[in-house]
Amino acid sequence: MDIFQFVIDQYEKRFGIKPDHVARAPGRVNLLGEHVDYNDGLVLPAAINLATWIAFSPSGTDTSTLVALDLEKEESVFDSKTIQTKTSVDGHMLTDWAKYPAGMAWTLLEHGLAVKGMNAVFSSKVPRGASLSSSASVEMTFGIAWQALGGWSISPMQLALTGQWAENKYVGMNCGIMDQFSSACGEKDRLLLLDCRSLEYRTLPLPEDVAIVIADTSVRRTLVTSAYNKRRESCEDAVILLKKKLPNLKSLRDISVEEFNKLSSILPEETRMRAQHVVNEIERTSCAIPLLEAGDINAFGELMNECHASLRDLFGVSGTELDLMARLAQPLPGCYGARQTGGGFAGCTVNLVKKEATQEFSKRLSSLYEAQTGLHPEVYVCQASQGAELVK
């Protein structure tokens, strides 16, 4: 059964009637521009054909009852008062997953938008904790749902900003805009190019004969939020110190690689390494744009490989299994480039592969990885997909 029908059936089972609506929002994969979104850089993600789906109706009251189908149908019940204190109506603290929808509702209310109580069930095909933005896809699905019930309408970019705000101020993860943006603004068969400073974006093609292959190490890590927030702080520290020499500097976007290399000795070693990655990565992503436009996937793939090395050696967000997965993939026939994607530490790699070689590539990568780790990796050949939408 497809997930559309699944959420409808589950809604009916739980609430006794058919849902009024169904919405979906995809996860994302990022091809280049990693850990630069919160440094005003450029990112090159795509929304993927794995999404979170929700079936919902207004509850007719201020109370929302949400059912997480993938988490043993755990329920969370909150209203506009209890979300202020991150509690459910029975006074318990909200569980982790419930903070994403509650955070969306809270942010919408903070911005003066009506949030009607809803009954909802939701389920996701985006693997959790795998660096494919499962949380952003939950936020965007609920954003679409509250929009449908609230009688207001905001742009996909505004919806993305709402999700980022929820995550920063409610959940406590100081993420940038890339994940929510990709989930909200995705386009079928297109890569997205976002300038995280101006929030202007456009789409770019991927050659017909090239596929995006995602390889999940199947390893997950805890404490990722604090490690992520720490990386972001290092970048902010670098800006404060570099400002002494360059008073107009607002973010690491404003310094060229050459200038940075001249000045970097004023930074403490760890801060220097983190900032070096960001400055180089922003440059790499700018260089990638004409390459993609010209269809030069060989050169683009090289930049992906460089990005992986930089995340590993300078930014310190790789992991043993991610390194292994990228290392095994890079020399395989048909592979243009392979690197970890998203926040890092664990989760997935993204690979650009010649379409005709994808089957063999996926088979060989899985068996090589499994032979060395004893872990079975999930490998997806994915398509760039449409962003968040009301389906019914």
Minimum CB–partner distance for residue 136 and ligand GLA (Å): 7
Shorter beta-carbon distance to ligand GLA: residue 128 or 354 = 128
Residue 213 to residue 351: CA distance in whole angstroms? 5
Retrieve residue 152's tokens: 């207001």
| Contacts with ligand GLA, residue ranges (CB under 6 A) | 30, 34-35, 37-38, 175-176, 178-179, 342-343
- The distance of closest approach from Cβ of residue 164 to ligand GLA in the complex, given in angstroms and rounded to an integer, is 8
SS3 content of the chain, % helix, strand, coil (to 5): 45, 20, 35
Considering the complex, state which of residue 35 and residue 116 has its C-beta at the smaller distance from ligand GLA.
35
Specify whether the CB–CB gap between 348 and 321 falls below 8 A. Answer: no
41 vs 117, beta carbon nearer ligand GLA: 41
Closest C-alpha among 100, 225, 230 to residue 166: 100
C-alpha 36/C-alpha 250 separation (Å) is 14
Smallest distance, ligand GLA to C-beta of residue 383, A:
20
Instruction: Compute the least distance from the CB of residue 51 to ligand GLA, in Å.
Output: 17
Closest to ligand GLA by CB, 35 vs 339, is 35
| Candidate list 40, 179, 216, 254, residue with the active-site label | 179
Q: How far is the CB of 369 from ligand GLA (least distance, A)?
A: 23
Question: Which lies closer to ligand GLA via its Cβ, residue 26 or residue 334?
Answer: 26
**Residue 34 or 321: which CB sits closer to ligand GLA?**
34
- Compute the least distance from the CB of residue 165 to ligand GLA, in Å: 13
What does 201-229 look like in DSSP terms, one character per residue?
EEEEE--TTEEEEEEE-----SSHHHHHH
Angle at 189 between CA 187 and CA 190, to 5 degrees: 60
Nearer to ligand GLA, 65 or 217 (CB): 217
Cβ atoms of 102 and 78 closer than 8 Å: yes
| Closest CB 80 distance from ligand GLA, rounded Å | 26
Q: What is the DSSP letter of 253?
A: G
Taking CA atoms, 175 is separated from 27, 38, 129, 194, in Å, by: 15, 7, 14, 15
Whether 313 is a known active-site residue: answer: no
CB neighbours of 331 closer than 8 A, spacing ≥ 6? Answer: none
Q: In whole angstroms, give the CA distance from residue 266 to residue 317.
A: 23
* Amino acid identity at 109: L
Taking the complex as a whole, the smallest distance from the CB of residue 178 to ligand GLA amounts, in Å, to 5
Eight-class DSSP state of 306 = H
Name, in order, each residue with C-beta under 8 angstroms of 296's C-beta and a sequence gap of 6 or more.
Answer: none
Number of other CB atoms surrounding residue 110 within 10 Å: 14
> Inter-axis angle of helices 134-150 and 156-165, to 10 degrees?
120
Q: For ligand GLA, which is the closer residue by CB, 62 or 306?
A: 306
Sequence-distant contacts of 361-366: CB under 8 A, at least 24 apart: 361/213, 361/329, 361/332, 361/333, 361/334, 361/335, 362/213, 362/215, 364/332, 365/215, 365/325, 365/328, 365/329, 365/332, 366/215
Q: Which residues are catalytic?
A: 179
